[in-house]
Amino acid sequence: MIERLLSGRRLPAALERIDRPQAILLAVGLAVVSAIGWLVGPVALAAAIAVQLTVGGFGAVALIGPARRGLGLARYTTLALAAVAATLFGRLLPGGVSLLFVPLLAVLLWSILWLELREMRDASVRTGLDLALTAIVFAGVAGISHLFPSDAWPPPLALMALLAFLVGLRAAESRGTGGAAAVGQALLHALAVAQVGAAVALLNLQGVVGPAIIALAFYTWGGAAEALEGGARARAVAIEFGSLAVLGLLVALLLHRG
């Protein structure tokens, strides 16, 4: 199926859609809704997130095209999740300053669409997609942490785990895993993020240090899963990615003491 897509005319036609005005308008519209979410109260914020999930989801379906066997369904959620994460993260910025980032956000959201379409043809784009997914986790976790008091960590932890599951499902599908296996990997990804999130909450780290460590854990787990699927030895994977995780933990402990 994938070979037919690569050799046929469907993929070039799909890639042309990203340059159409609809893609630009969709990215700009989601960026404007994000800007509104930066400045309003909780009720209006919830409404803005609902709009982004709806518009971003249906817009992605219209631009990416119908679902195809072997390519997964999580790619349709990436744009909406990126918009929601940007909305939550933008509330950390001062109101007047945050509005200056609306054009940049529109470009970033457009690039998400470009990555999703290009990833079907060029495997090297996967690195950019993995970084984009990690950035979504970082921005979303930072925004969720900002919405809740520091001592109310169980509710935000559940939201972080949900975000990690959805993004982790997209990461699993980008590695070529589908069906129940992809769901299982996403659940393990969410569990790992929840464990790190609980540790970060207990350490009570300030600023965006905690979300950065959680994003590092997300990226590390994804890299370890890919290495294992590629046939790497379990001991080598544990040493390499375990060392990265330990380094992040040491940084967290030093910052906590400081």
| Residue 66 within any structural domain of the chain | yes
User: Looking at the structure, do residues 80 and 7 belong to the same domain, yes or no?
Assistant: yes
Cα 254 → chain centroid: 27
- The pLDDT tens digits for 28-84 are 999 999 999 998 888 999 999 999 999 999 998 888 877 776 677 888 999 999 999
Q: Last residue of a domain, which of 121, 136, 161?
A: 121
Same-domain check for residues 78 and 1 = yes
Domain that includes residue 44, residue range? 1-121
Residue 161 belongs to some domain of the structure: yes
Return the pLDDT at 233. Answer: 60
Residue spans of the chain under pLDDT 50 = 1-9, 11, 15
In the chain, the number of structural domains is 2
pTM: 0.82
Q: Of 32, 19, 22, 83, which Cα lies nearest the Cα of 57?
A: 83
Please count the other Cβ atoms lying within 10 Å of the Cβ belonging to residue 214. 27
Which of 79, 101, 121 delimits the end of a domain? Answer: 121
Domain membership of residue 111 (yes or no) is yes
- Nearest Cα to Cα of residue 113 among 29, 216, 226, 220: 29
104 with 200, same domain: the answer is no
Verify that 22 and 100 share a domain, yes or no.
yes
Burial of 250 (0-12, 13-18, 19+ CB in 10 A): exposed
Cα separation, 193 vs 210, whole angstroms: 12
Which of residues 101, 121, 141 is at a domain's end? 121
Q: Is residue 136 part of a domain?
A: no
Residues 78 and 184 in one domain: no
The answer to whether position 135 is within a domain reads: no
Domain identity same for 19 and 117 = yes
Same domain, 48 and 163: no
Position 197 scores a pLDDT of 85
Q: Residue 61 domain-assigned?
A: yes
Question: 160 and 82, same structural domain?
Answer: no
Contacts for 181-189: CB closer than 8 Å, 24+ residues apart: 182/72, 182/74, 185/225, 188/221, 189/164, 189/165, 189/218, 189/221, 189/222, 189/225
Same domain, 3 and 90: yes
* Any domain includes 133: no
Residue 101 lies in a domain: yes
Q: What is the model's pLDDT at position 176?
A: 78
Q: Are residues 105 and 155 in the same domain?
A: no
Q: What local confidence, expressed as pLDDT, does residue 242 receive?
A: 61
Residue 106 and residue 156 in one domain: no
| Same structural domain, 226 and 180 | yes
